[in-house]
Structure 1
Amino acid sequence: MPRISISALLLAALFAVNPVLAATQALDRIVAIVDEDVILESELAAAIDGVRRQYQGREIQLPPEDVLSKQVLERLTLLRLQIQRAEAGGIQVTDTEIDQAVARVAASNSLTIAQLRQAVETDGFNFSEFRKSMREELLVQKLRTRVVESRVEISESEIERLLAGDTLKRGEVHLRHIMVQLPDAATPEQVATGAEKIAGIRQLIEDGKMEFSAAAIRYSDSPQALEGGDLGWRRFDQIPAAFADLVAGMEKGAVTQPVRTASGFHLLQVADVRKDSHIMVTEYHVRHIVTRVDDLNTHEDARVKIFEAKRRIDAGESFENVARAVSEDKNTANLGGDLGWIPIDAYGPFYAQPLSQMSVGGITEPLRSDQSWHMLQLVEVREADRTEDFLRQQATESLRERKAEEVYEQFLRQVRGEAYVETRLDPNGNSAG
């Protein structure tokens, strides 16, 4: 059975509650107090074991034991804090939502639910604990949505400013990131040490002694460290200004020079590039006639009306005139049933399926739906350049996502700062007792 692919958040939660791994601990110590909750040594060990499993055969890419322990413990701490906030805010996840999430994981791995259960249990997990982990991930997703929706607003002027520039037309880049963090009000000595470290990391990569992703896992202080620094695909409008101009024009595999920001020193690698292209959409000019089923008209009444309309059209009357006289779609009847230019999926598969098989000028046979009867006429077909519409949609989504990331990162920093967190790891990453 192939290893299932799940999110990093779910992975952390899943390994943290693995009862098989937890049972192997001779003595369960507390490694962190998180407000009124605790993280046990068995949970940390299980989560670390999970990371090691993900890097099986590539263990050399992992950071030293003490660094890995601290990275994983911080991830578990943030997960625990988010779950606490979600539950305190009354956020709930239903069994149906969990069922749907489990089904999505199964589908994304090309498995049935039964095969997913087998894969989970083969990896040493209890399926009920897997569902519990899914619940926790959904809680965090809902918390993020609540926080973001209440604080993120996008104005039309912001969209217009973004469209006026060229960042949306540059395409996309797949980025990886390494950060050497600096403390607030860093001393000259701390800055010098950070600069020396980031330069050394870059040299290792340039000399071919370490891949960028391996260096990120071992040395980076960023939240994406354990994912090899992977930031995914980003449009240039989604990249901080300090980095956007640096990566513009860079080739696949290239690494930036170190960049200093308020948070520390950074390296970026362009893992891949996708050039921008025009968005061409096939559009259909369609007219329709609709007869409806309601309190006064049965399906048979509606059927008789639509077939009478068909008889008139077959006798030579124009579709447009018959639509004006017969159609019960109040929005289009006076327009001769004209729906204008629409993409094929504008009205779902009920219209898409016949349209895909029609020739220009063609008219369908009467089509029955649950509450109405329909006839379609395909007037014309064209290829339309919808690049500007696509860019506007991209601009809106990009602004929303950029603000959402900033808002949620600020929220997490606030939650982390307000929480009582006591870690009990010694400098070597072991439980302090």
Structure 2
Amino acid sequence: MKYGHNRNPQETVQKRKLKTKPLLVLIAILFIGNVFWFVGWLIPDKKLKQPDEVVASVAGDPITREQWMTAMEKAVGRDVLRELVNNKVMETAAAKYGIEVSEKELELELALITSVDGHTYSGLDLEQIRQRIRSTVTLEKVLSNDVVIDDATVKSFYDENESLYTILTAYRTSIIVVPSKKEAERALSELSKGSSFDALAKEVSMDLTSANLGGDIGYINADTETIDPAIYKAASQLKEGRVGDAVGLKDGTYAIVQVNEVINGREFTFDEVKEHIKRELTIEQLSQLVLPEAFWKEFDAKWFYGK
């Protein structure tokens, strides 16, 4: 795979980060909202349970479902509802302005973002990721709806930054990190007997950040600097849905690697990324970050928490 115009790889990574920063910020905001939504989704509808059902106890003192639900609403209720309202606002805006987000656009944005910071999507399944991208692209299209950027400017940007659109193969990866090879072999044995990778990672993995997400570390590629190189090497040799043998890490621990999805590397042509670049240049011209909340008044959005 070529990287275009003999550019320095480090410079390429830095430029890609710079040019995709507005989109990454928006995706990160949407991701945070999704985490709150996901926590709420895990909790069954309290209408299906008796209010006084005991969900836990300490020294015989019960904690009821009603107490649990009330605490959850106070902790994350506002953010969960905000996410739902923002998604509906963007859907309404898309309908009003005749905006559509195609499958090709979703795949392009996914490839571009995962090539920069695959951790953005840790903990989300593919459908949730696509929904977040769809919402973000919809917002960008609304913001750039009345902005005209001539094709010559767009082509010039592409020619000067062509290497940004050469995408490395990315692997959606999950890991289980344990202190010894013996414990790694024990974990592999459990997996071979049908244990869930997600559940086992939460139970035994030393890497607490990924363990809380069932081992998920998002998308990684050859340029990912935040992981042990042995993890990428193992992932690059696996097919989708497969679990590899235990690999030793630099700190003396061992990792079991699972690849959940592969996004093949490719070079995007000018025609393929032209509309993306137009939106990117438009967003860069904005004096401040615009969030979906800016459209609440236009679409008469109201919620439980008032103004």
Q: Same fold (TM over 0.5)?
A: no
As a proportion of its length, which structure holds more strand?
1
TM-score class normalised by the smaller sequence: 0.3 to 0.5
Bigger CA radius of gyration: 1
As a proportion of its length, which structure holds more helix?
2
| Structure with more relative contact order (C-alpha pairs < 8 Å, separation 6 or more) | 2
